[in-house]
Amino acid sequence: MRFFRPLLALALAWLTFIIFTYANAEMQRVDADGNKSPDALKVVLYFGGVVIVGGASGVLFAAMVMPAIGDTIGKFFFNPDEKIEKSPHADALSAIARGDYEMAVQEYLNAFGKDPHDTLALSEVVRLECDQLDNPEAAADILEQALEREWTAEDAAFLTSRLVDVYWKHQHRVREARALLMQIIETMPGTKHSANAQHKLQEIERQIALED
């Protein structure tokens, strides 16, 4: 089968050569009076042969050349020998899709255990605990324990901001939330975290004024 297609291509090329050779000879045929008088039937047959050979060549091109071009392009953009890395949050997302939020929390915690810098995993745990499992206490404990570690300033501000949301919106610990916002403003002046903290602080202070 490997050699069939090349042989077929050679046969079509040879047939094309024969057809054009005889067609040209017929067109150049001269009658007894010196006038060119090609046989119309033969010319039509030759023309039909060209059409058939052309169609067969097109089919052969589509069957042989196009797949090879497609494979070459595919290998250029994607190497099938390369392993596709699984997302560290894939199992958690699958659990969420099934509605198994407790399993999703566990999967996110597993991801965080493998990558202690995965703040997104912690943030998703907090979201699920507060919004789906109605357990903001667990969310607050997780963030408080996490913030006892050393973090970059950006990560610490992000996690602290998430803890503010838990204190303020879910546990109604407004003054603790206010203290954390002041901490962000003092430690990261001129940053987006500071600007967000100032905005939240204004809302909290209005709430405190109403309560007092």
* Cβ-based neighbour number of residue 61 at 10 Å: 11
The amino acid present at 131, given as its one-letter code, is: D
pLDDT, tens only, 128-178: 999 999 999 999 999 999 999 999 999 999 999 999 999 999 999 999 999
Q: Rounded to an integer, what distance in angstroms lies between the CA atom of residue 108 and that of residue 88? A: 8
Instruction: Identify the weakest region by mean pLDDT among 23-37, 79-93, 118-132, 156-170.
Output: 23-37
Q: Would the CA dihedral through 102, 104, 106, 109 be positive or negative? A: negative
Residue of 156 and 51 predicted with greater confidence: 156
pLDDT for 207 equals: 84
pLDDT, tens only, 59-81: 555 555 556 565 555 555 555 55
Token pair listed for 203? 């809302």
